């Protein structure tokens, strides 16, 4: 995505401080504590039409291939899952009124009665089973495969009952049914549309509070209210929701300020964030989030493959500067990949473990000691960054300056935005790159959802890290929350101290709404929860 450059005066001052030669532990000036929300004021009444902007045009509305911001933002209002992730990060019943676990490898879902698709047909177990089974078909290429690797079979075992049999116990599978992984599309519609499912010409057939009306490629998508929606508490207040596809940030910000567009979610702060924050025609809300900013290690040899080198760079890096300057005050320094919003169970255990990790503040002297222990490497460390992104560029500048202060040779390799996605899936694209910057998020409030990426052979275990593979397998098979938390905090401690991925900042949801509307969900679950149902007039 194209991004304009941000003001860099503050960053230049920060970099100067980093290279001033001071070797004592620094007391980083902490950014202001953020007031993160899970709700916005309720709407007084509905509107005939609400216009919202997506950061880009969705590639598809097929739930099994929708694993990104624009796609899920649209689908969350149309296609519902077996369970529901609420704005305050609780998992509650959705299209399933009950999820029973009679044996460690069996999940039995009782399907809600009285639910109909937009065409009036009733929801049945066959629809649910057909939707879940699509994830098991390698020809369809689901993007939710990590949650279905342990699934042996999916069967309708009654008119309103579906049984999922696992190959082995999996603590994440049932939680994933509260995300797009558990979304249900009508079986008859699946059969009729085939490969065109989710396209502009076909759309989808689901049960949510808004129904698909039309999709004008290159321009917008229109959803209309489902007046027969089963959940009275979440029936849409407004009659229609028009989703625009304004990808250029400057154009999008201007459309928001002018009132042409009523609102938008941002996953990174736009260059015009200051304008939106000062706007007299709308306001910015920061929401609780599972998203973070990190440096993903991919080196299998060379200096960055040595954990002492990674630890040194991490210790010397000023995360507070990244929060305040790069993210314009909308981020918080983070000492682990998973912050407090991931602690959906055993919170005290996770909090104690988090507080025991190395702090976010810098310690240049200790960092230099670690580099001496590592043999004072001189070979360049290559960090990949996305082209046309001020956030990537400025973070990279700070990393490079930090390296200079330590005596590390850090080389920045700019990868065009169109090719950056290849770094996640193609080892050839990562060749010669020791680490690369990325936003990342889990899908459910369980730290294990993140740390599973480090399992042996995992497609996102870029550096082939093997130290926690056994512990991950045990944690995923552990049904007792306390025992699982004990295992996961052990994984977290090892991964964090080895700096396999370097945690930098927690990234809140950035929501802008003009003064005409209110009621949107400001927190991370908007990706899977009908966030627009409450949208209406102030």
Which CATH number belongs to the domain containing residue 474 in this structure?
3.10.105.10
Residue 28 pLDDT:
56
User: Is the distance from CB of 208 to CB of 77 less than 8 angstroms?
Assistant: yes
Q: Where are the alpha helices (DSSP H) in 407-511?
A: 417-420, 422-425, 448-451, 469-476, 481-498
Same structural domain for residues 18 and 106?
no
Residue 40 pLDDT:
99
State the average pLDDT over residues 410-435: 97
pLDDT per position as a tens digit, 340-379: 999 999 999 999 999 999 999 999 999 999 999 999 999 9
CA dihedral of residues 167, 170, 174, 180 (deg, nearest 10): -90
**Ramachandran quadrant class, 407 (left: phi over 0; alpha: psi -120 to 50; beta: rest):** left
Instruction: Please report whether residue 112 resides in a domain.
Output: yes
Domain boundary among 200, 223, 249: 200
Question: Angle, nearest 10°, between helix axes 307-316 and 481-498?
Answer: 90
Instruction: Please report whether residue 498 resides in a domain.
Output: yes
Same structural domain for residues 388 and 451?
yes
pLDDT per position as a tens digit, 504-526: 999 999 999 999 999 999 999 99
**Count: domains in the chain:** 2
Same structural domain for residues 431 and 300?
yes
pLDDT per position as a tens digit, 317-341: 999 999 999 999 999 999 999 999 9
Same structural domain for residues 435 and 481?
yes
State the average pLDDT over residues 20-46: 73
| pLDDT > 90 in the chain, percent | 93
CATH number of the domain within which 177 lies: 3.90.76.10
404 pLDDT tier (thresholds 50, 70, 90): very high
Statement: residue 413 has pLDDT above 70: yes
Residue 33 pLDDT:
86
| CA 491 – CA 501 distance, rounded (Å) | 13
* C-alpha distances in Å from residue 87, one per residue of 43, 235, 375, 529: 17, 16, 49, 7
Instruction: Please report whether residue 218 resides in a domain.
Output: no
Same structural domain for residues 21 and 63?
no
Same structural domain for residues 500 and 379?
yes
For residue 417, the enclosing domain spans 9-34+290-506
The closest alpha carbon to 519, from 85, 90, 77, 83, belongs to 77
State the average pLDDT over residues 288-315: 98
Instruction: Please report whether residue 326 resides in a domain.
Output: yes
Same structural domain for residues 115 and 174?
yes
Same structural domain for residues 301 and 183?
no
Task: Name every residue whose Cβ is closer than 8 Å to that of residue 412 and which is 6 or more positions away in sequence.
Answer: 382, 383, 385, 396, 397, 399, 400
Q: Phi and psi of 121, rounded to 5°?
A: -75, 145
Same structural domain for residues 24 and 113?
no
**DSSP of 184-250, one letter per residue?**
---HHHHHHHGGGTTSTTT-----SSEEEEEEETTTEEEEEE-TT-S-GGG--SSSEEEEE---SHH
Statement: residue 150 has pLDDT above 90: yes
Instruction: Please report whether residue 473 resides in a domain.
Output: yes
Same structural domain for residues 429 and 297?
yes
Instruction: Please report whether residue 515 resides in a domain.
Output: no
Instruction: Please report whether residue 283 resides in a domain.
Output: no
Residue 27 pLDDT:
46
The residues that bridge with 224 in the sheet, in sequence order, are: 211, 240
Instruction: Please report whether residue 528 resides in a domain.
Output: no
| CA 270 – CA 8 distance, rounded (Å) | 14
Based on C-alpha coordinates, what's the Rg of the chain? 23
Same structural domain for residues 17 and 69?
no
Same structural domain for residues 168 and 313?
no
């Amino acid at each position: 995505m194209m991004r304009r450059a941000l003001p860099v005066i503050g960053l230049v001052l920060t970099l100067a401080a980093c290279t001033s030669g001071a070797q004592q532990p620094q007391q980083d000036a902490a950014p202001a504590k953020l007031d993160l929300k899970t709700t916005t004021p309720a709407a007084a009444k509905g509107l005939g039409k609400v216009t919202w902007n997506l950061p880009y045009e969705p590639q598809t509305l097929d739930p099994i291939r929708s694993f990104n911001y624009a796609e899920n933002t649209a689908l969350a209002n149309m296609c519902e899952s077996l369970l529901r992730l609420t704005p305050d990060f609780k998992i509650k019943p959705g299209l399933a009124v009950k999820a029973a676990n009679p044996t460690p490898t069996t999940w039995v879902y009782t399907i809600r009665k009285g639910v109909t698709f937009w065409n009036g047909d009733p929801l049945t177990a066959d629809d649910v089973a057909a939707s879940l089974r699509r994830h098991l078909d390698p020809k369809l290429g689901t993007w939710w495969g990590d949650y279905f690797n342990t699934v042996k079979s999916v069967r309708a075992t009654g008119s309103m009952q579906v049984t999922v049999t696992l190959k082995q116990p999996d603590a994440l599978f049932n939680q994933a049914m509260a995300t797009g992984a558990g979304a249900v599309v009508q079986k008859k519609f699946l059969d009729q549309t085939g490969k065109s499912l989710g396209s502009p010409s076909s759309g989808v057939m689901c049960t949510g509070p808004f129904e698909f009306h039309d999709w004008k490629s290159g321009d917008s998508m229109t959803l209309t209210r489902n007046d027969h929606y089963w959940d009275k508490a979440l029936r849409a207040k407004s009659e229609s929701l028009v989703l625009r596809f304004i990808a250029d940030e400057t154009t999008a910000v201007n459309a928001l300020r002018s009132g042409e567009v009523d609102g938008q979610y941002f996953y990174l702060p736009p260059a015009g964030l200051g304008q939106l924050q000062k706007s007299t025609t709308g306001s910015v809300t920061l929401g609780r989030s599972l998203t973070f900013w990190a440096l993903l290690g991919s080196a299998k040899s060379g200096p960055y493959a040595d954990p002492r080198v990674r630890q040194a760079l991490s210790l010397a890096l000023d995360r507070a500067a990244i929060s305040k300057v790069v993210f314009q005050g909308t981020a918080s320094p983070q000492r682990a990949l998973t912050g407090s919003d991931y602690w959906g169970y055993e919170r005290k255990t996770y909090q104690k473990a988090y507080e025991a990790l190395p702090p976010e503040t810098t310690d240049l002297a200790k960092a230099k000691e670690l580099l001496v222990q590592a043999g004072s490497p001189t070979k360049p460390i290559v960090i990949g960054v996305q082209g046309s992104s001020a956030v990537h560029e400025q973070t990279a500048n700070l990393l490079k300056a930090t390296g200079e202060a330590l005596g590390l040779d850090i080389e920045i390799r700019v990868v065009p935005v169109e090719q950056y996605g290849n770094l996640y899936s193609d080892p050839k694209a990562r060749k010669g790159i020791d680490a690369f910057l990325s936003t990342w998020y889990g899908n459910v409030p369980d730290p294990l959802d993140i740390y599973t990426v480090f399992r042996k052979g995992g497609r996102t275990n870029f550096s082939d890290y093997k130290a926690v593979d056994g512990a991950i397998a045990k944690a995923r098979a552990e049904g007792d929350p306390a025992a699982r938390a004990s295992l996961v905090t052990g994984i977290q401690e090892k991964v964090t101290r080895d700096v396999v991925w370097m945690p930098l900042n927690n990234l809140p949801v950035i929501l802008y709404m003009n003064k005409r509307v209110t009621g949107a969900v400001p927190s991370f679950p908007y990706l899977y929860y009908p966030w627009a149902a409450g949208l209406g007039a102030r």
